[in-house]
Amino acid sequence: MLSYIIRRILYAIPIIIGVNVLTALLFFYVNKPDDMARKILGEKNVTPAAIENWKRDHGYNLPSFVNTEEEGVKKLTETIFFQKSVPLLWFDFGRSDRNNIDIGEEIKTRMWPSLAISLPMFAAGLVISLFLAMMLAYYRATYIDIWGVVLAVVLMSVSTLFYIIGGQYILGKLLRLFPISGYDTGLHAAKFLVLPVIIGIIASIGVGVRFYRTVFLEEINKDHIRTARAKGLTEGMVLFKHALKNAMIPVLTNVVVSIPFLFYGSLIMETFFAIPGLGNFTIDAIQSQDFAIVRSMVYLGSILYIIGLILTDISYTLVDPRVRFE
Amino acid sequence: MARAVYELRVKRGVMYQEHPAFARDAAGKPLYSGLDEKGLLGVSGPEDFKVKGTRELTADDFIYQIMRLADPQVESPVLSILEKYILGLKEYSDALRVDLEEIRAKRRAAAGLAYNQAVDEEQNPIILDFWKHPLPGVEKVDSHTFRIILKTKYPQFVYWLAMPFFSPMPREAAEFYKQGALAQRNITIDRFPVGTGPYVMATFNPNMEIALARNKNFHYEPFPEEGEAEDEKAGLLKHAGQKLPFMDRIVFKLEKEAIPRWNKFLQGYYDNSGISSDSFDQAVSMSTTGKPGLTEEMSERGMRLLTSVRPSTYYSGFNMLDDVVGGYTPEKQKLRQAISIALDYEEYIEIFNNGRGMSAMSALPPDIFGYKEGREGLNPYVYDWDEARKRPARKSIEEARRLLAEAGYPGGRDRDGRPLVITFDNPWTGADSTPMINWYIKKFALLGIQLENRTTDYNRFQEKMFRGNFQFFSWGWNADYPDPENFFFLLVGSNSKVAHQGENAANYSNPEFDRLFKVMENMDNGPERQKVIDEMMALARADAPWVWGFHPVAFSLQHGWVENVKPNPMANNTMKYIKIDAARRQARRDEWNRPNVWPVVAVIAILAISSLPAIITMRRKRGLSKKKD
């Protein structure tokens, strides 16, 4: 198992380098260092000398990938790509271009509001989706199943934005049950999290229920379920013990790969509910053309994705004895 | 050469806020220097330090700040402008730049291949020696008096002195924050400034909220006893003579989306609010005379509406270097004048700004010296005076067509019958921009001119502007200070974008206008200056390098519990005057936000009841199958 994990980590290195090169290429194609300098120094009275000075102070005066003016290894090391991307390997994210803030510190701070909203949304959404999917499978071919599926399709067809605005209007403004938006530190944050979590669950439940229902229906038509029923087990026991356990592989594929991304937060939710998480952080960086933050967040995203895939593979062996690290 | 000397006297007895930067040990040395990670456990801002100190504000702090502006690491955006005026500042900042680069080169040489400038300077910030080089433009007279010497007379300098970058900076604070361990915790001077004002930074979390708390060391300052003519009637002098500030704490919440922001304002969780286009009809009703007022719903909530014309001009411009739309011949003037008439900005303001704007007669907005109201201020190339309504009336489209024909484009076609095509460059990439672009296309089409839209992102747009690769564009300008010089410099040849990388985006260059500008910029306000301004306006209106566009009008709403609010777009220090009736606010919040639970209970009950038949049927089915077994 250990050698498998090491092998997967080694495979990840060229992927991470490739992601970094692509990010730098794309960013500098649409956004030259001069544009960044002009935007950051302000729109008014920015002289060419001020732009050059800014670039020099922030290391953007170097060539992007190859420095033809240097000799030997310095051809590669004295470049924007090397200077900005290599420290990322040991998670030194450096300082932002726009506000000169320590990005690592900011990620550590903003990770918690993101987790505060995404973790309960994910966990509760998963449990409710699994429960409802099993309920539909249990009541299959009744009007509960039919209308449940119709409702799930309706739920998954509606934009998240609609749920957010509708939820804020009905539950926040009309019924005045929750604060419309906002966030606070510590336990005071709880009252602000209920509404986005409810809305997040409603927005994701349609997809989850439809998917898991299909998985369960496929499972309950298999021989081992028929055997369980023949043994005289109750339908609940059949579903929750035998069907659920054997349906775990597709469920895990869907779930484990998502876990690392919970740190990343939700771009739309955080913006509409004024939650100071990493989703908001990324959107702001893109809008303000802060390459240092964008690069760091893309790097973090690629690492999390790889971790998610490795975790998924490991989890297969835990639920299915037939899967081995070969 | 004539030099201008400003002698500034600092009020005695003004104390800084309590701050760890001023804390001293028994030997009189800074208590918190050489901080490391261990020493900062549990520290997330200056408030978390146990020992704090203060001291009196002196002239040295103002001098230090001017020197600091020249430090390349500060990246002050105003340095390039100040270098033009403050004696020796350019040489001083160049010398500091050389010093900085020398230090960097030494560090780089010592570290070898592994050197990374950004990482190194975060851990070991560079502190430059500001006293190594002379700065002849700044002189200390005594502990509370200093002089700033300008190379030439520049009356607008008094406005610059009122801007944030001339705020005093205690050297102790600047050097306190130049510690790598603090920087790595994002405890920096721009997040936690040190000052003498009515409020101090209590919480700085720009991702969520910024909170200011009353400065215990704030010097005595009473509420003004005099105001403008209508201030007393408006209740703005009710607290005259009372000690400022009134509020103990001010909290700014980050709310990015307009809908939740507006709804929370209606619920009473925000004291004031702007009005977005979506909420405009809910909040504002226009009288038959076009005067804005509150809707019944807002009036019932006890709100107040405040309006003020912003010192801004949103304009469209022509590239005066372009062969088709540029140039200074009578034909080219007529072409631009015809387009200026066709672009009906009164209609634009109604459609896209809910009527929140006033048509511009020149670059100057109201309340700036040189602006004239009524018939006197009319742009005669675009408007006639409507004597019956006592207001300007836009010239007819027929008049515009006549001018276009005289310009050599009858019906929008040149002498060879080819249609006149003009490109329109803009950075309007948002979904809401399409109707605005279509509006421009339709207005040009009234003259038979084809307007070809070339929307790009803002970076590409700026690139085109710098290269002069455009014909017609749209932009805007917000005043930095209330002086006509800050608007007319946008039309001065030596400030053109293509040749000089300046702010004159139209690249307008009229030698007579430029000569008058040189005269006007150094004059004090008065009839002589007004005369020069009138001449400049006449020239610019005839040449029409801009379609003068409009000046936006800001609408803001306040709840009834907020007092002493008076719009002043130029002032940054008005929070100290505001008073809040907190008890009334809490009562309204409680009244407006009582939860309503029964609809949720009803929905859950309906779902449960509607599921019952299926559950019963299923139970029977399972029961039957068990019996069969």
Amino acid B371 reads Y
**d(Cα A168, Cα A268) in Å, to the nearest integer?**
14
* Residues A164, A268 contacting (CB under 8 angstroms): yes
pLDDT at residue B365 in the model: 96
Task: Tell me the residues of chain A between 160 and 219 that have a Cβ less than 8 Å away from chain B.
Answer: 165, 168-169, 172-177, 179-183
d(CA B540, CA B531): 14
Cα angle: B9, vertex B189, B29; to 5 degrees: 75
CB contact B205 to A (< 8 Å): yes
- pLDDT score of B290: 76
Residue B476: band (very low, low, confident or very high) from pLDDT cuts 50, 70, 90: very high
Q: What percent of chain B has pLDDT over 90?
A: 82
Work out the pLDDT band at B621, boundaries 50, 70, 90: low
Q: Give A61 or B504, the one with higher predicted confidence.
A: B504
Residue B393 near residue B386, CB atoms below 8 Å: yes
Q: Among all residues of chain B, which has the CA nearest to that of A60?
A: B118
Query: Which pLDDT band holds residue B628 (cuts at 50, 70, 90)?
Result: low
Tell me how far apart the alpha carbons of residues B168 and B154 are, in angstroms, rounded to a whole number. 22
A26 in reach of chain B (CB within 8 A): no
pLDDT digits (tens, 9 = 90+) for B174-230: 999 999 999 889 899 999 999 999 999 999 988 889 999 999 999 999 999 999 888
What secondary structure does DSSP assign to B32-71, as a single string? T-S--TGGGTT-SSGGG-S--B--B--HHHHHHHHHHHT-
ipTM over 0.90: no
Length of chain B (residues) = 629
Number of Cβ within 10 Å of residue B608's Cβ equals: 10
Chain B residues with beta carbon closer than 8 angstroms to that of A41: 75, 77
72-101 of B, contacting A, C-beta below 8 A? 72-73, 75, 77-81, 97
Q: Which residue of A has its CA nearest to B617?
A: A142
Contact A274 B184 (CB under 8 A): no
Distance from CA of B103 to the nearest CA of A (A): 13
How many alpha carbons fall within 13 Å on the CB side of residue B495?
20
Average pLDDT over residues B465-481: 94
Average pLDDT over residues B428-457: 94
What is the bridge-based pairing of β-strands B357-359 and B312-318? Answer: unpaired
Looking at beta carbons, which residues of chain A come within 8 Å of B593?
A: 176
What confidence category does residue B544 fall into, taking pLDDT thresholds of 50, 70 and 90? very high
Which CATH number applies to A110-319: 1.10.3720.10, 2.60.40.10, 3.30.2320.80, 3.40.50.300? 1.10.3720.10
pLDDT classification of B533: cutoffs 50, 70, 90: very high
Task: Please tell me the predicted confidence (pLDDT) of residue A52.
Answer: 87
Q: Is B480 on the interface with A (CB under 8 A)?
A: yes
pLDDT (tens digit per residue) in B105-138: 999 888 877 788 888 888 899 999 999 999 999 9
- pLDDT (tens digit, 9 = 90+) per residue, B357-409? 999 999 999 999 999 999 999 999 999 999 998 999 999 999 999 999 999 99
* Residue-level pLDDT, tens digit, chain A, 326 residues: 788 888 888 888 898 888 888 888 887 777 788 888 888 887 676 778 888 888 888 888 888 888 898 888 888 888 888 888 888 888 889 889 888 888 999 999 899 999 999 999 999 999 999 989 988 888 888 888 999 999 999 999 999 999 999 999 999 999 999 999 999 888 889 999 999 999 999 999 999 999 999 999 988 888 888 898 888 888 778 887 888 888 888 888 778 878 877 877 788 889 899 999 998 898 888 888 888 998 899 999 889 888 888 888 888 877 777 776 65
Q: Say if residues B441 and B333 touch (Cβ distance below 8 Å).
A: no
Q: Measured between CB atoms, which of B256, B503, B617 is closest to A274?
A: B256
Residues 65-104 of A with CB under 8 A from B: 73-74, 77, 83-84, 86-87, 92, 94-95, 99-102
Chain A residues with beta carbon closer than 8 angstroms to that of B182:
none
Provide the pLDDT for residue A250: 81
Percent composition of chain B: helix, strand, coil (DSSP 3-state, to 5): 40, 20, 40
E strands along B491-585, which residues? 546-558, 562-563, 579-580
Judged by DSSP in three states, B520 sits in: helix
Provide the pLDDT for residue A8. 83
Does the pLDDT at position B626 exceed 60?
no
Residue with tokens 């700033």: B148
- Nearest residue in chain A measured CA to CA from B601: A175
Inter-chain touch B119–A94, beta carbons under 8 Å: yes
Omega prior to B168 cis, within 30 of 0: no
Q: Report the gap between the CA of B114 and the closest CA in chain A (Å).
A: 9
Class of domain B313-554: alpha beta
* Rounded-to-integer distance, Cα B330 and Cα B375, Å: 25
User: Cβ separation of B260 and A31 shorter than 8 Å?
Assistant: no
Residue of B nearest to A49 (CA): B80
User: In degrees to the nearest 10, what's the CA dihedral of B432, B438, B444, B449?
Assistant: 130
**Helix (H/G/I), strand (E/B), else coil: B136:** coil
Residue with tokens 């002043």: B568
**What is the overall mean pLDDT for chain B?**
93
State residue A326's pLDDT score: 57
Find the CB nearest A274 among B254, B596, B617.
Answer: B254
What local confidence, expressed as pLDDT, does residue B442 receive? 98
pLDDT recorded at residue B619: 74
Reported as a single tens digit per residue, the pLDDT across B397-425 is 999 999 999 999 999 999 899 999 999 99
pLDDT band at B602 (very low <50, low <70, confident <90, very high): very high
Domain boundaries, chain A: 2-90, 110-319
Region B4-194: CATH code: 3.90.76.10
How far A94 CA lies from chain B's nearest CA (Å)?
A: 7
pTM of the full structure: 0.86
> Tell me, what amino acid is at A232?
G
Please indicate whether, in this complex, the C-beta atoms of B614 and A144 are within 8 angstroms of each other: yes
Q: Which residue of B has its CA nearest to A178?
A: B595
Q: Which residues of B touch A285 (CB under 8 A)?
A: none
Q: What is the DSSP string of B78-135?
A: THHHHHHHBTTHHHHHHHHHHHHHHHHHHHHHHHGGG--HHHHHHHS-----TTSS--
A141 in contact with B, Cβ within 8 Å? no
B595 contacts chain A (CB < 8 A):
yes
